[in-house]
Structure 1
Amino acid sequence: MSPLPRHRPFLLLCGEQIASSVGRQVTTLALALIAVTRLDAGPFGASALMALSYLPGALLSPFAGLLADRARLRALTVLLTVLQTLVVGSVPLTAALDRLGLPQLYVVATVSGALTSMLAVSLQAALPRVVHPGQLLSANSALTGARTTGQIGGPALGGVLVGLTGASTALLAACAAYGVEALLLLALPAALDTPAERRRPRPGSRTAALRGGLAVVRGERLLRRQVLAGAGFNLGSGAADALFVLYATRDLGLPPWQLGTVYAAFSVATVLGVLLARRFATTTGLAAATRICAVVAALAIFLIPAASLLPAFPALLGYQFVFGLAATVWAISMTTTQQLITPPELQGRVAGVVQAALTATVPVGALGGGALAAWLGNVPVLTGGATVALLAAARLWAR
């Protein structure tokens, strides 16, 4: 068993996480700013953009998990990343031709979300094939730390590029990051191109194969409760996230550099969460770590509507820091629990089922929040979203 710092395939995955997080952070920020500042999207339009980026994950993740168990995994991840580069790169191209509109942004958000979701499921299935089971907690912490390294620079880079060159041009930097990601994935061991499920699938067995992942989630009480709580949490936080850029720029008047700094604060907190996750989860137990951190993360969301009463920039910095710290430890603990429970040949399908359940409520919350905000205003909807997230997190404490 090679130590993780000298484990080449694992180090390649860490590099991939840095590159992918930079690309995704710049993409998310730039698309939202294009919709709000250039194309005059309202609350529902901005929420729809976020909802469409999550909806494919809810629909396709179980099938992506089945594909990850049966396909050549390295080739699959490289293909997904190359397609991501082409899809995101279409925005600056059409902007240069002065043909960019909201319908194209919605298509890009949908396709990019589908590719991101499929890649996330594939990489979750790949990790247990790269490291020893006893290294999974440390490996998940390290990968989260690598991803956070990119997230620290990504929002700040995106904010600076948007301010200097415009949001559509900033997406070229995201495309460059995706290109680096594809090269790192291509360097992974060729053994990953051997399917995890080595039996030849029987005709008509696809439905039964998909049910295998669902059976693991339903049969493991701890995992089932965590997934249900996470889905409810994402319903409330999805409404808050969908309105965040619109609320911060129009209601609170944050300039792009402050918005980028606010997102970067989340990443700094995530680094701290990575450093604390292993010790905290080992000391309290994986289940206790998820319970505690879920409630803390939900409470942090209340700082978003509170920013309308407090100094806005510090309040949003506080939200991102506390939320980032708690959510990171929660995610690491929950992912490690899932991977330890799941049989090797079902890693992709279980990851797909879990991701589908966790992301299905995000577009519902985003669209519902956007529709209600157009009627009630942003602050009441943000407060309601935080309340829903807290109630869902509190369910983890019920007997």
Structure 2
Amino acid sequence: MKRPIPMPRRMILTELFSDLGDQFVHLTLLAELFFGLAASHANLLLLCLIQQAPAIFLGPLAGRWVDRIGPSNGIVGGILARLLLVVGLLNARDGWTVWPIYLLFASASLLFVISRLCITPRIVAPGALIRYNAVNERVALAAGIGGPFLIGLLIRQAGAGISLVMGIAMYGCSAWLAKGLPRLDAAAGKVGEQRPRGGGDG
């Protein structure tokens, strides 16, 4: 019988594939919309503003939403939303149609990040949290160094469309891994706990 992936390792892999998907999207947008264009500096500034806007204006709202739906649902929802939005980018990579899609993309990323921060202390034992964070940071660092180099080569050799398709594949892997995370009741704060659906002790 196949052994299940331990929850801390599953969370690290979920985040890794999510980060790789983000890299495919961000580097493709940089290659397609900014380099070689007359308005590249203005476009880059707009990209940076859109990246930060959800965290500034929607942070508390996203936190309340995660508290309502639970962090595991927030992780899966944030991944699948980005996957669908990248499909939209495949059909709208030019002009101003990109910006509203990218704003929604950044909002979905915020939902994922907040959900990840909520779920991590509940699936990693307190005594193992420092070791978990150290391993997670090393994995993220390796992906952050090697990812852009390999993705840049892919964009040059295969084009932006293939790069976005690879991003979709990364989100698909991340969503599959996230589906195995424990269902958490955010209000109760316990793994697998369900709130009573009415009625007394009987």
Pairing 1:149–2:142 present:
yes
**Where do 1:122-141 residues align within 5 Å?**
122-141=115-134
TM-score w.r.t. structure 1 length?
Answer: 0.44
Alignment partner, residue 102 of structure 1: 95
Pairing 1:31–2:29 present:
yes
Give the whole-Å Cα distance in 2 for the aligned partners of 1:7 and 1:69.
26
**Where do 1:5-44 residues align within 5 Å?**
8-37=6-35, 40-44=38-42
Q: Which runs of 5+ in 1 are unaligned?
A: 1-5, 95-99, 199-343, 346-399
Pairing 1:118–2:116 present:
no
Q: Deviations over 1:356-399 (max 9, x none)?
A: xxxxxxxxxxxxxxxxxxxxxxxxxxxxxxxxxxxxxxxxxxxx
Q: CA 1:84–1:158 in structure 2 vs 1: closer, same or farther (change >3 Å)?
A: same
Give the whole-Å Cα distance in 1 for the aligned partners of 2:42 and 2:91.
26
Give the whole-Å Cα distance in 1 for the aligned partners of 2:173 and 2:9.
14
Amino acid in the other structure paired with 1:92: L
Give the whole-Å Cα distance in 2 for the aligned partners of 1:122 and 1:133.
18
Q: Which runs of 5+ in 2 are unaligned?
A: 191-202
Give the whole-Å Cα distance in 1 for the aligned partners of 2:36 and 2:89.
13
> Does the 8 Å contact 1:53/1:110 carry over to 2?
yes
Relative contact order (alpha carbons < 8 A, sep ≥ 6): 1 or 2 greater?
2
Pairing 1:48–2:56 present:
no
**Where do 1:337-352 residues align within 5 Å?**
none
**Where do 1:165-176 residues align within 5 Å?**
165-176=158-169
Give the whole-Å Cα distance in 2 for the aligned partners of 1:87 and 1:39.
24
Alignment partner, residue 381 of structure 1: none
Deviation of 1:21 (Å): 1.5
Give the whole-Å Cα distance in 2 for the aligned partners of 1:76 and 1:35.
30
Give the whole-Å Cα distance in 1 for the aligned partners of 2:81 and 2:5.
28
> Does the 8 Å contact 1:53/1:111 carry over to 2?
no
Deviation of 1:76 (Å): 2.3
Alignment partner, residue 315 of structure 1: none
Deviation of 1:189 (Å): 1.8
Alignment partner, residue 264 of structure 1: none
Deviation of 1:181 (Å): 0.5
Give the whole-Å Cα distance in 1 for the aligned partners of 2:38 and 2:105.
22
Give the whole-Å Cα distance in 1 for the aligned partners of 2:5 and 2:163.
34
Deviation of 1:106 (Å): 1.4
SS in structure 2 at match of 1:187: coil
TM-score w.r.t. structure 2 length?
Answer: 0.83
Deviation of 1:136 (Å): 2.0
> Does the 8 Å contact 2:74/2:111 carry over to 1?
no
Deviation of 1:65 (Å): 1.7
Alignment partner, residue 72 of structure 2: 74
Identity level (%): 24
Q: Deviations over 1:62-121 (max 9, x none)?
A: 222222233232222112211100101222234xxxxx4231221232111111111101
Deviation of 1:153 (Å): 3.4
Q: CA 1:184–1:149 in structure 2 vs 1: closer, same or farther (change >3 Å)?
A: farther
The structure that has the greater radius of gyration is 1
Amino acid in the other structure paired with 1:160: L
Deviation of 1:39 (Å): 5.5
**Where do 1:228-247 residues align within 5 Å?**
none
Q: CA 1:135–1:69 in structure 2 vs 1: closer, same or farther (change >3 Å)?
A: farther
> Does the 8 Å contact 1:77/1:119 carry over to 2?
yes
